[in-house]
Structure 1
Amino acid sequence: METIKIGLVGLGTVGSGVLQMVTQNQAKISNITGRKLSVKTIVVHDVDKPRQVNTDNVLLTDDLNQIINDPEIKIVVEVMGGIHPAKEVITALLNAKKHVVTANKDLIASFGDELAKIAHDNHCDLVYEASVAGGIPILRTIVNSFAADQILEVKGIVNGTTNYILTQMQQQNWSYEQALKKAQELGFAESDPTNDVAGIDAAYKMIILSQFSFGTHLSIDDMKVEGIQNIQLADVEQVDSFGYTIKLLGISKRINDGIFAEVAPVLVAKDHPLATINNENNAVMVTGSAVGETLFYGPGAGGLPTANSVLSDIVSVTKNIVLGTTGNSFNNYQHETSLVVAKDINYPYYLSLDMLDVPGQMLKLTQLMTKIGASFSQIVQTKNDTDSARVVIITHEMSKVQLAQLINEIGHIESINLVAAYKVLTN
């Protein structure tokens, strides 16, 4: 049986998982593809660094040319992460006629179109299932299973670090700082967690999901991105009493003829499927006009779950090599779509405010809501330790324009401080 040789660029958690799975799952892979797979060369930064995985039958090198100039290596897996020099590495590999599998969401979200064109010009495959939601095969599912359906919305929990932190805040009554510290101790959060907790990681994933779902090409500047750093335990406890939980959700939604995309904390009703997704797990909900709502759930990160998605891409490329069908785009759907204007984006909102505990403050707030044409659905007032009161409100549906007006008006009142404004998921 013919053997297809593979190169790896990077041997961290995911790269080690790929090497392990290629070795262990050889029989099934051969049965499916009619070919053996063998990792021949791995490019690493430090050749002498101790490894947790067996590399006895592999060439470890710090020279990318050992892969680029090797005609035996047909498929290369890039798991080094980051945008640079990963972009230059993948470009060089594609120009050397190597098929590329990557888990690099930052790179694909930022330069996916450019790299896809280079792959097409070289009749190579560029696939990246593992770039979104770890072990959940969501991208290939959208490409294949939703090919004939019109997707109306894709939303979900696509960052395991933030979901773990929010789960601990809810279940353990920990502050954000306490939950983050525990996440770092367990390896769920980096020593510098900014990319995760600020929502940037989730935003990159939503850019890719939007491309696959709507054929539209967004940049991170096209969406509001809000993280979880400012979520207070008092609000986590308050929304719990209202029957909700707070989740960091990515939402990309077709509204009229445009697309609305955002990453931000959202109140999710406890009986909603996304409310049950806890700890480091991910879930993506796809709503199609024909199929309705479908939910895809699984581990959003980790060596073996992500490596499993990488390996499924390797198998897919191997099949294409065997059939002579390489060079087709992973996602062929292209559809020019404009962004939705703020007045057409409507949600109920959870508002958390600190205000002086003196007569007339609630009247001021009510007058502001009347002025912008919005109204309350629920309202609770509690006494703070100082001479202020905490007032929490869930509004009826209001537009982004109305919300911006309200925030602006409150900013001019010294006795009222807006602590938080979060969307409320209604379906």
Structure 2
Amino acid sequence: MTDQTSQAELVRQSLKRRYRKERRFRAYGVIAIAIALSALVILFADIIGKGSAGFMKTTLNLEVELDGEMMYLDDATDERQIKMADFVEPLIQALMKELPSASESDRSAVRDLINPYASVTLRDALKENPDWLNTSRSMTFLAHTDVDVFVKHAGDSAYSIKLTEQQRDWVNQLVEKGVVETSFNDTFFKNGDSRDPSKAGILGAMIGSLLTMVVTLALSFPIGVAAAIYLEEFAPQNKLTDFIEVNINNLAAVPSIIFGLLGLAVFINLFGMPRSVPVVGGLVLTLMTLPTIIISSRAAIKSVPPSIREAAEGIGASKMQVVLHHVLPLAMPGMLTGSIIGMAQALGETAPLLLIGMVAFIVDVPNGFFDSATVLPVQVFLWAGSPELAFIERASAAIMVLLTFLIGMNALAIWLRKRLERRW
């Protein structure tokens, strides 16, 4: 009896130790998840905190006197006169009317409140409306970047305010009058890159990313699916196919910059293709995405039950008919899911595109696959390395846009999986 009691006590002690270990293991898992979620929350809070200001712009609402004598302009339809006219003086005069305390000696300080591109806006408006000459018009212009930073970050020590005390007082007066306002930054979505943060936008990078992704999808999906079908359904089991399979799995783990070096060596140096164009970027990202698509497509093909193949063969279908009419339609949801995830990975890549020249400063929005372009991740890289702090909020805003696309693509992959998959 004593031996049975002692044996039971040993079992109870052993169970207690195992339960304690299990609780500790669970606690470690909860702590690890909490740390990961905390880091994610901090990251998103930092990005959103800095990037939210990038979706806002600061503007000047001015009543501009388009005096031809002041601008040295007699005919607004004469291109030569337009090129020689002074479009800055009307802006200075309009702003000084809103600042009674500003004197003629303060003209330079007043001018520094106006965006350098405001004169271009005024010139373009007058070219489109020549009848505005010698009239007064209420117009809206972008404020200077320093004014934009002051209005949005006056109390933030992380941003250095470059305005003088006098200029700050003027800006505060203009804000009270409603001359200086903040509104949604549509410029951010309508312009390409610019040296001036207030004019910089992501339209060029978005179009470049779209064109690059079109090339990547058009090449990687059919090639990846065809390779997966061949390896899974038609390839003989020998050393050659084993070698191919091992290398496909290894390529999925190769650093992306290696594919950039390959693209630089083959597509640019060997074939002489131009740098910084979506076609070359798409070719490089195709090489990087193919292993992911092939592996996911093979897994989708393997998930199709053998009974489907046997039933099709039993009614006289050929091997090709079995694959095309039965296996491929059933495996397509998994193939699409893997392809979308691979495309999302390609959309966020920077390193391979830097090596093929897509890091260039591109102002114009690309119109085709062979126009110079950049992509969103590279645009973020360029802005994040800029010495002007105003570009940091633009970079954070661009990251938010990029994350929106990436989350959307992954959500689409999950939805397709839930919507189209069949359980056997």
Same fold per superposition (TM over 0.5): no
Q: Which of the pair is proportionally richer in helix?
A: 2
Report the TM-score, using the length of structure 1 for normalisation. 0.20
Report the TM-score, using the length of structure 2 for normalisation. 0.20
Structure of greater Rg: 2
Q: Which of the pair is proportionally richer in strand?
A: 1
